[in-house]
Amino acid sequence: MFEQKFLRLDGFTKAERIGMTARVSEAINQAGAWITDFHLYSNILICINFEVPSTNLEKLAVFLQETGLHLSQESLEQLIPTNDSTLKDKELVGTLQITFVHNEPDLLREVPAVPG
């Protein structure tokens, strides 16, 4: 039975959050991958879920690094093309966690009162 490889990528940046998020989104698209979901954790972190063809791992590595995002060594190693024939022409599922390094306070959002 085929065991799917799951990519767990992480990196950090001191760049402005909204601009970096847009650049990373574009990089994922340029690599022939697509974003399936994302979760924001205040202004500290974003976790992006994506899928990428196994043949596009090297492109993804290049485009992500061109954004100025600092990927961990473990992340870069996962993006090295493999000779594993079970992964050839497969769609890989993964997450990219980006930590934003800054001195800004947490984002505060008003929670509407619930009647009752």
Give residue 86's pLDDT.
63
Has residue 107 been placed in a domain? Answer: no
Has residue 111 been placed in a domain? Answer: no
Count of structural domains, the chain: 1
Task: Check whether 66 has a pLDDT greater than 60.
Answer: yes
Has residue 85 been placed in a domain? Answer: yes
pTM of the predicted protein model: 0.83
Has residue 110 been placed in a domain? Answer: no
Q: What is the DSSP string of 26-72?
A: HHHHHTT-EEEEEEEETTTEEEEEEEEEGGGHHHHHHHHHHTT-EE-
Confidence of residue 1 (pLDDT cuts 50, 70, 90): very low
Has residue 112 been placed in a domain? Answer: no
17 vs 97: CA distance, rounded Å = 13
Has residue 60 been placed in a domain? Answer: yes
Nearest to 61 by CA among 48, 72, 45: 72
Render pLDDT for 5-56 as a digit per residue (tens, 0 to 9).
Answer: 899 999 999 999 999 999 999 999 999 999 999 999 988 999 999 999 999 9
At 44, list the tokens: 């500290």
Render pLDDT for 74-103 as a digit per residue (tens, 0 to 9).
Answer: 999 999 877 766 667 789 999 999 999 987
Q: What range defines the domain where residue 67 resides?
A: 6-100
Has residue 89 been placed in a domain? Answer: yes
Has residue 49 been placed in a domain? Answer: yes
- Is the alpha carbon torsion for 29, 34, 40, 41 positive or negative? negative
